[in-house]
């Protein structure tokens, strides 16, 4: 079973799509299995993160923005891949530090996410993008 989730982004930050994933998995009507998500881009990431307090998402965005600032920041002047904009090479670096794929067992017909776990697309570019996440279930 395969599917593609399209996620519209509008700037850097986390976009939750847990309910879309759960809905698709439950529609397959299987008991156990293995769900894999794979994002088909090199300037955004997949994250499992806390879904309770939105401040967690803001803090995550701000931490990584400080750890990997735009190439206009003097501390990043050694970077050479800058012609696609000051947020481009930092986006590739963040994409190296955070997951491109996630694998989640399915039990009782649902991904075994913990109580506070949500599934997010972490957009690293400032401009709006449509991001494609490939999904696969092994029954």
Q: How far is the CB of 16 from a copy of itself (least distance, A)?
A: 13
DSSP 110: E
- Does 93 bind a copy of itself (CB under 8 A)? Our answer is yes
Q: How far is the CB of 130 from a copy of itself (least distance, A)?
A: 12
Q: Give me the residues paired with residue 103 across strands.
A: 36
Element housing 19 (H / E): helix 18-27
Note whether 106 and 112 are within 8 A (CB): yes
Note whether 12 and 23 are within 8 A (CB): no
The stretches of 41-82 forming alpha helices (DSSP H) are: 54-67
Helix (H, G, I), strand (E, B) or coil at 131: strand
Site residues for a copy of itself, 63-92, by CB under 8 A, read 63-64, 66-68, 78-81, 89, 92
- Does 7 bind a copy of itself (CB under 8 A)? Our answer is no
Site residues for a copy of itself, 24-63, by CB under 8 A, read 32, 34, 36, 38, 40-42, 47-50, 53, 55-56, 58-60, 62-63
Cα 39 to its chain centre, rounded Å, is: 7
DSSP 76: G
Q: How far is the CB of 11 from a copy of itself (least distance, A)?
A: 18
- Does 19 bind a copy of itself (CB under 8 A)? Our answer is no
Binding site for a copy of itself (CB under 8 A): 2, 32, 34, 36, 38, 40-42, 47-50, 53, 55-56, 58-60, 62-64, 66-68, 78-81, 89, 92-93, 95-105, 107, 112-114, 116-117, 122, 132, 134-136, 138
């Amino acid at each position: 079973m395969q599917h593609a989730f399209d996620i519209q982004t509008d700037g850097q930050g986390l976009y939750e799509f847990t309910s879309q994933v759960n809905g698709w998995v439950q529609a397959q009507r299987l008991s156990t299995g293995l769900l894999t998500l794979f994002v088909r881009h090199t300037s955004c990431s997949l994250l499992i993160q806390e879904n309770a307090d939105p401040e967690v998402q803001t803090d995550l965005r701000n931490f990584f923005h400080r750890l990997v600032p735009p190439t206009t920041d003097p501390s990043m002047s050694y970077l050479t891949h800058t012609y696609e904009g000051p947020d481009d090479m930092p986006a590739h670096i963040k994409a190296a530090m955070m997951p491109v794929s996630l694998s989640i067992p399915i039990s009782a017909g649902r991904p075994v996410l913990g109580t506070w776990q949500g599934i997010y697309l972490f957009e690293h570019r400032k401009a709006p993008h449509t991001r494609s996440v490939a999904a696969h279930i092994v029954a």
